[in-house]
Structure 1
Amino acid sequence: MSKIRIDRLLSNLGYGSRKDVAAAVKRGVFYIDNKPYRDPSTQVSMKDLHLATYDHVPLDPVAPLTIVLNKPKNYTCSHDEQGLLIYDLLPERWKYRTPPLSAAGRLDKDSTGLVLMTDDGQLLHKIISPKVHVSKYYRVTLRDDLKGDETETFFSGVFCLANDVKPLKPAVWQAEGPRSGIMILQEGRYRQIRRMFGALGNHVEELHRFQIGGLTIGDMKEGEYRILNTDEKIIFGETP
């Protein structure tokens, strides 16, 4: 799409309904390269939107948008569950973007760390598809001391979780202390790491994802997010 109507653009970005943003544009809130646009039906070039402002603030990025979030504990990776949601950590209007942002590989409520969120369906598929092997790295803290056979058990390729028919793919466990280590997975079943250690009679106290593929969480604070740049998108094979 080379051009788009201003009212459709702003509505898709979550600034309001078509009617509401049309009224706002007529009041003179939308500019491109310091030039005001007051007709909401005007077609504007997508390539010029990096110069656009809305109410004197740079316009939100258009789709496809991909962000990295450092998820705090007690937040749920869902659009519609009760309680604290990861979407509450983003600008309020982003909840109304079209297409919507979705989490690419969820973390459970009690876990923390790196969550990718995107409105790019192809990228979402690349990250969560079982046919695409994207490694995910977790720092694990356990209740009880390790027994010593976890590395071999998890990497065996025959280890099966309760109520699952298909064995887990080989997972890499690197112990770092008597009750801690790094787990590297290439799949993402429901509460997988917690269930893996539970099957061995242990309990995961803390679980933190710090890397997906070649993308790391870096020094982001809990609750912070940032937009992926072009080089980071290439890590997942996305064409800039």
Structure 2
Amino acid sequence: MRLDKYITQVSELSRSQVKKALKAELITLNGEIVKDPALHISPEDLVELDGEALSQPGPRYFMLNKPQGYICATNDGEHPTVLDLLDEINKDKLQIAGRLDIDTTGLVLITDDGQWNHKVTSPRHHCPKTYYACLAHDLAENAEDKLAEGLMLDGETKRTKPATLERLFTNEVKLTISEGKYHQVKRMFAALGNRVTELHRESVGGIVLDEDLEPSEYRPLTDTEINSIQ
């Protein structure tokens, strides 16, 4: 991350104020005075402003518009991860709160607050998640009733919890579930004799994907969004 961007994140200084502080020789990097705002720093570096150490405040909360081709993992030897899309210091401390498949797009929540992450992902908290799904075939007429009753998925011993369905077109729907089983949405439609061809997560709890975020873009969550997860 660039030095000037890091300082604006961890202090109340604007970019222009950072440049003035650099020019005034008030900023040191690992004990040495620095003047270049474009210097790239690593998590191990010590940045000080007028003799006072600057560090990333926590906890941090982000929403990301995940594109296809990225996996929800901290690291992977074969595929890029969603953390690769973040320009943040100390990314190794961030956790992905609720994962999406490599070909699924949409809302991913990222945080370094373990308790908040648990509220998002734990089955005991029943945090609702809404998906847009495009299907290979028209949806059966009785799909709503079967989803409300719960489906027996292949390899499971218990039915899924009740889910709600909104029909957008004959083969396009919005599905809201309160669980997070492996490939759950795809397996649910497979149990209905259909197949998902496109899947996009729109919301988690009270947090709705910001329509201004292009794929691969992210932003910090607002206090209202953070507090909506109980």
Scaled to the shorter chain, the TM-score interval is 0.7 to 0.9
Structure 1 match to 2:83: 87
Looking at structure 1, the residues matched to 72 and 57 of structure 2 have their Cα atoms a distance apart, in angstroms, of 22
Structure 1 match to 2:148: 155
- Residue among 63, 71, 78 paired with 2:66: 71
Structure 1 match to 2:31: 26
Query: Deviation of residue 31 (structure 1)?
Result: 4.6
The amino acid of 2:114's aligned partner reads: G
Query: Deviation of residue 231 (structure 1)?
Result: 2.1
Secondary structure of the equivalent of 1:187? Answer: coil
Structure 2 match to 1:105: 98
Percent of aligned pairs with the same amino acid: 36
Query: Deviation of residue 79 (structure 1)?
Result: 1.7
Query: Deviation of residue 218 (structure 1)?
Result: 2.1
Looking at structure 2, the residues matched to 173 and 193 of structure 1 have their Cα atoms a distance apart, in angstroms, of 12
Query: Deviation of residue 149 (structure 1)?
Result: 1.2
Provide Cα deviations, 1:162-188, integer angstroms capped at 9, x if missing partner.
110011000111111010010001111
Structure 2 match to 1:119: 112
Looking at structure 1, the residues matched to 227 and 165 of structure 2 have their Cα atoms a distance apart, in angstroms, of 27
Structure 2 match to 1:134: 127
Does structure 1 residue 167 correspond to structure 2 residue 163?
no
Query: Deviation of residue 92 (structure 1)?
Result: 6.4
Query: Deviation of residue 93 (structure 1)?
Result: 4.1
Q: Is the 8 A contact 2:98 2:121 kept in 1?
A: yes
Aligned length: 191
Runs of 4+ in 1 over 2 A off after TM superposition: 28-32, 92-96
Q: Is the 8 A contact 2:29 2:48 kept in 1?
A: no
Structure 1 match to 2:42: none
Looking at structure 1, the residues matched to 168 and 107 of structure 2 have their Cα atoms a distance apart, in angstroms, of 21
Looking at structure 2, the residues matched to 135 and 186 of structure 1 have their Cα atoms a distance apart, in angstroms, of 4
Secondary structure of the equivalent of 1:194? Answer: helix
Q: Is the 8 A contact 2:186 2:196 kept in 1?
A: yes
Are the structure 2 counterparts of residues 233 and 153 from structure 1 closer, same or farther at C-alpha, using a change threshold of 3 Å? same
Provide Cα deviations, 1:104-132, integer angstroms capped at 9, x if missing partner.
11000010000001110110111111110
Provide Cα deviations, 1:187-208, integer angstroms capped at 9, x if missing partner.
1100101011112221101100
Query: Deviation of residue 24 (structure 1)?
Result: 2.4
Q: Is the 8 A contact 2:139 2:171 kept in 1?
A: yes
Looking at structure 2, the residues matched to 92 and 233 of structure 1 have their Cα atoms a distance apart, in angstroms, of 19
The amino acid of 1:115's aligned partner reads: V
Query: Deviation of residue 91 (structure 1)?
Result: 1.8
Runs of 5+ in structure 2 lacking a partner? 1-6, 11-27, 35-46
Looking at structure 1, the residues matched to 101 and 191 of structure 2 have their Cα atoms a distance apart, in angstroms, of 18
